Amino acid sequence: MDVASIASAFIAAQAGRLQLAAAAKLLRANAGASADAAKVIEAARQNLDRLAEVAAGIGRQLDISV
Protein backbone atom coordinates (compact mmCIF):
# COMPACT_ATOMS: atom_id res chain seq x y z
CA MET A 1 0.00 0.00 0.00
CA ASP A 2 1.24 3.41 -0.80
CA VAL A 3 0.92 6.47 1.43
CA ALA A 4 -1.90 7.98 -0.64
CA SER A 5 -4.20 4.97 -0.24
CA ILE A 6 -3.49 4.79 3.51
CA ALA A 7 -4.31 8.50 3.84
CA SER A 8 -7.45 8.05 1.77
CA ALA A 9 -8.60 5.15 3.94
CA PHE A 10 -7.90 7.19 7.08
CA ILE A 11 -9.94 10.13 5.77
CA ALA A 12 -12.81 7.83 4.81
CA ALA A 13 -12.75 6.28 8.28
CA GLN A 14 -12.87 9.72 9.90
CA ALA A 15 -15.81 10.74 7.69
CA GLY A 16 -17.64 7.53 8.61
CA ARG A 17 -17.04 8.20 12.29
CA LEU A 18 -18.46 11.70 11.92
CA GLN A 19 -21.53 10.36 10.13
CA LEU A 20 -22.13 7.79 12.87
CA ALA A 21 -21.84 10.46 15.56
CA ALA A 22 -24.34 12.67 13.72
CA ALA A 23 -26.75 9.76 13.28
CA ALA A 24 -26.51 8.87 16.97
CA LYS A 25 -27.22 12.47 17.94
CA LEU A 26 -30.28 12.58 15.67
CA LEU A 27 -31.57 9.30 17.10
CA ARG A 28 -31.24 10.64 20.64
CA ALA A 29 -33.05 13.85 19.68
CA ASN A 30 -35.87 11.88 18.02
CA ALA A 31 -36.19 9.60 21.04
CA GLY A 32 -36.45 12.64 23.30
CA ALA A 33 -39.07 14.23 21.05
CA SER A 34 -41.10 11.02 21.05
CA ALA A 35 -41.00 10.86 24.83
CA ASP A 36 -42.10 14.51 25.09
CA ALA A 37 -44.96 13.92 22.66
CA ALA A 38 -46.09 10.92 24.69
CA LYS A 39 -46.12 13.06 27.85
CA VAL A 40 -48.27 15.72 26.14
CA ILE A 41 -50.70 13.10 24.89
CA GLU A 42 -50.95 11.55 28.35
CA ALA A 43 -51.59 14.97 29.93
CA ALA A 44 -54.32 15.67 27.38
CA ARG A 45 -55.95 12.32 28.13
CA GLN A 46 -55.91 13.07 31.86
CA ASN A 47 -57.48 16.49 31.25
CA LEU A 48 -60.22 14.92 29.14
CA ASP A 49 -60.87 12.37 31.88
CA ARG A 50 -61.33 15.22 34.38
CA LEU A 51 -63.73 17.01 32.05
CA ALA A 52 -65.73 13.81 31.63
CA GLU A 53 -66.31 13.79 35.39
CA VAL A 54 -67.88 17.27 35.38
CA ALA A 55 -71.56 17.17 36.24
CA ALA A 56 -74.00 17.20 33.34
CA GLY A 57 -75.44 20.62 32.58
CA ILE A 58 -72.48 22.66 33.79
CA GLY A 59 -72.09 25.70 31.57
CA ARG A 60 -75.33 25.26 29.65
CA GLN A 61 -76.92 28.44 30.92
CA LEU A 62 -73.84 30.60 30.73
CA ASP A 63 -74.56 34.17 29.60
CA ILE A 64 -71.66 35.42 27.50
CA SER A 65 -73.34 38.59 26.19
CA VAL A 66 -71.51 41.83 26.81
The span from the CA of 50 to the CA of 17, in Å, is 50
- CA-nearest of 52, 48, 28 to 40 is 48
Question: Residue 60 above 80 pLDDT?
Answer: no
Tens of pLDDT along 4-59?
778 888 888 888 888 888 888 888 888 778 888 888 888 888 877 776 666 666 66
Q: Which long-range contacts (CB under 8 A, 24 or more apart) does 39-43 make?
A: none
Q: What pLDDT does 1 receive?
A: 59
Q: What pLDDT does 49 receive?
A: 72
Q: What pTM value is reported for the model?
A: 0.48
The span from the CA of 42 to the CA of 35, in Å, is 11
